[in-house]
Structure 1
Amino acid sequence: MQKLLITGASGFLGWHICQITKQEWEVYGTYLSHSIEIAGMKTLKANLTDFQELKRIFRDINPDAVIHTAAQSQPNFCQTHPQESQAINVTASCDIAGLCADYSIPCVFTSTDLVFDGLNAPYRETDPVCPINLYGEQKVMAEVGMLERYPQTAVCRMPLMFGMATPTASSFIQPFIQTLETGKELNLFIDEFRTPVSATTASQGILLALEKVNGYIHLGGKERISRYHFGQLLVEIFQLPVTNLQACRQQDVKMAAPRPPDVSLDSSKAFELGYKPLSLRQELLEIIGLALSR
């Protein structure tokens, strides 16, 4: 079996990628602060911002491909910790692309829809980037830097993702559900639009990119939806109390990082390559099915 190195295996997306790759690959997953063991693969603690350590990992594993998901992905944290987030989001990413170039192996990088300003959605791969927060800026720097180091890199711009909680991470739906189940008020934006997908679907798109893509690819879902209307769908399917679901606007909530209003992705290019997101309703019903089967 060929060797696949997945950075950020303890993260929400990284963990889900590990689940669908370990049947076909000999998988090695890195983590930093959240120790994790995943059956059927090897995990190792690694500080990816230490270039000597990174080189040693490549030398010891000698991977046949790399999927780089490790990141500091909370926009508010990045806004208030610029140097710490830059080290993993930009410097380490570019170093990984350089090492993949040295080894002449496929490299996939998970970027974000937040590279756009939200004023001209839906966004295609060829549309100009214009991030309005530091996290988006860092991802743009990583995209450009990685492709300069290694033009064969597949840069996957990811949408908002949801799914089953992992041993060390959760998606945005878990706190939503918990808030409503405990009778607290849940305020969701009616003026922030995304094209969400489940982490399982996103993982399948990333594997498609590993096989077929050099350069940029958008891996959004087929439905543009506001956070509030996603919350309504969640309430209906998970049969949650609806009375505490409240609509609000971005301006009502003070946040360190500015948020773009509409970063819906046009993922036609990925659809043509065989990327097949389900409807949001189907995705959520599958999550319920998985939860009941555990």
Structure 2
Amino acid sequence: MKKLLITGASGFLGWHICQIAKPEWEIYGTYFSHFLEIPSVNMMKVNLTDFQEIKNIFNEINPTAVIHTAAHSQPNFCQTHPEESYTINVTASCNIAGLCADSAIPCAFTSTDLVFNGLNAPYKETDSVCPVSIYGEQKVKAEAGMLGRYPNTAVCRMPLMFGMTTPTAKSFIQPFIETLQAGKELNLFIDEFRTPVGGTTAAKGLLLALEKVQGLIHLGGKERISRYDFGQLLVDIFQISDAKLQGCRQQDVKMAAPRPADVSLDSSKAFALGYEPLSVQEELAALATSQDHDCKN
């Protein structure tokens, strides 16, 4: 059976890829700080910032393909810990691309829509990058470094992602739901726009890119939506009564990392390859249904 190495398998996206890929692949997943067991997945604790450790893993497993999701992906953390985040976000990524190049195996990398400054959306793969945060800068460096070492890398720019809680990770909607169900006020941006997708959809897109893409690809959803309008859909679909949802502007909230206003992705290139995101409403409705099912069991 083909062997797929997934870095960051304990993360939200990594866990979803494991679930989707299991029928087709023998999966080896790395974690660092969050141990978990995933049925039918070989989990390994690996410090990806140690080149020798990564090299040993490649030599032991001899993977057929690699999906590299491991990262410090919180922009505020990267802004305040630039050196610590650089080692995993840039150095480790370039090393992984080099090892994939040595074996001439498919490699997919998860970049971000935050490589753009938010002033000229929707963004195509051919548009110039211009990040406003350190996290965005690090992903730009990783993209260039990986493609420099291994031009066959599929560099997948991911949008905002959401979905069910995994054993070791949440998406951004869980705190939203908890806040609203507790009767507390939730302030969401009316002037920040993304093209979000569910975790399962994103995982399918990455596996498609691994097979069909070399170079840049955007894996955004089919609709541009503000954080506030996303929250309104969440309230309606999860039937949260008396929800205290308030609109605010980016300038009203002080955060360590600057935020772009609109990093909506034009993902028509991926759609033409067979990438099929559901609408946000459909994704949320499916989550609400599965949550109801889990509660009844």
TM range (shorter): over 0.9
**1:117 aligns to what?**
117
**1:37 aligns to what?**
37
**2:280 aligns to what?**
280
Aligned pairs for 1:116-265 (under 5 A) are 116-265=116-265
Counterpart Cα distance in 1 of 2:12 and 2:33: 14
Counterpart Cα distance in 1 of 2:91 and 2:97: 10
Counterpart Cα distance in 2 of 1:66 and 1:290: 30
Q: Confirm or deny: 8 A CA contact 2:49 2:92 kept in the other structure.
A: yes
**2:103 aligns to what?**
103
TM value normalised by structure 2:
0.98
Q: Confirm or deny: 8 A CA contact 2:117 2:130 kept in the other structure.
A: yes
Shift of 1:240: 1.1
Task: Tell me the SS of whatever aligns to 2:117.
Answer: coil
Shift of 1:243: 3.9
Tell me the alpha carbon deviations over residues 198-226 of structure 1, each in whole angstroms, 9 at most, x when there is no partner.
01001111011011000000000011000
Shift of 1:40: 1.0
Task: Tell me the SS of whatever aligns to 1:6.
Answer: strand
Counterpart Cα distance in 2 of 1:52 and 1:201: 33
**1:51 aligns to what?**
51
Counterpart Cα distance in 2 of 1:204 and 1:291: 21
**1:21 aligns to what?**
21
Does residue 72 (structure 1) correspond to residue 86 (structure 2)? The answer is no
- 1:264–1:242 distance in 2 versus 1, CA, 3 Å: farther
Amino acid at match of 1:84: E
Q: Confirm or deny: 8 A CA contact 2:181 2:243 kept in the other structure.
A: no
RMSD: 0.7
Amino acid at match of 2:147: L
Q: Confirm or deny: 8 A CA contact 1:220 1:267 kept in the other structure.
A: yes
Amino acid at match of 1:248: C
Amino acid at match of 2:86: Q
Amino acid at match of 1:235: V
Q: Confirm or deny: 8 A CA contact 1:235 1:242 kept in the other structure.
A: no
Shift of 1:241: 3.2
Shift of 1:115: 0.1
Shift of 1:133: 0.2
Q: Confirm or deny: 8 A CA contact 2:115 2:136 kept in the other structure.
A: yes
**1:88 aligns to what?**
88
**2:268 aligns to what?**
268
Q: Confirm or deny: 8 A CA contact 1:7 1:69 kept in the other structure.
A: yes
Counterpart Cα distance in 1 of 2:293 and 2:95: 41
Task: Tell me the SS of whatever aligns to 2:128.
Answer: coil
Amino acid at match of 1:136: G
Task: Tell me the SS of whatever aligns to 1:117.
Answer: coil
Number of aligned positions between the proteins: 294
Counterpart Cα distance in 2 of 1:243 and 1:289: 20
Counterpart Cα distance in 2 of 1:241 and 1:146: 48
Shift of 1:242: 4.5
Counterpart Cα distance in 2 of 1:279 and 1:269: 18
Task: Tell me the SS of whatever aligns to 2:110.
Answer: strand
Q: More deviation in 141-150 or 276-285?
A: 276-285
Tell me the alpha carbon deviations over residues 38-64 of structure 1, each in whole angstroms, 9 at most, x when there is no partner.
001110100000000010000011000
Amino acid at match of 2:163: G
Name stretches of at least 5 consecutive residues in structure 2 with no aligned partner. none
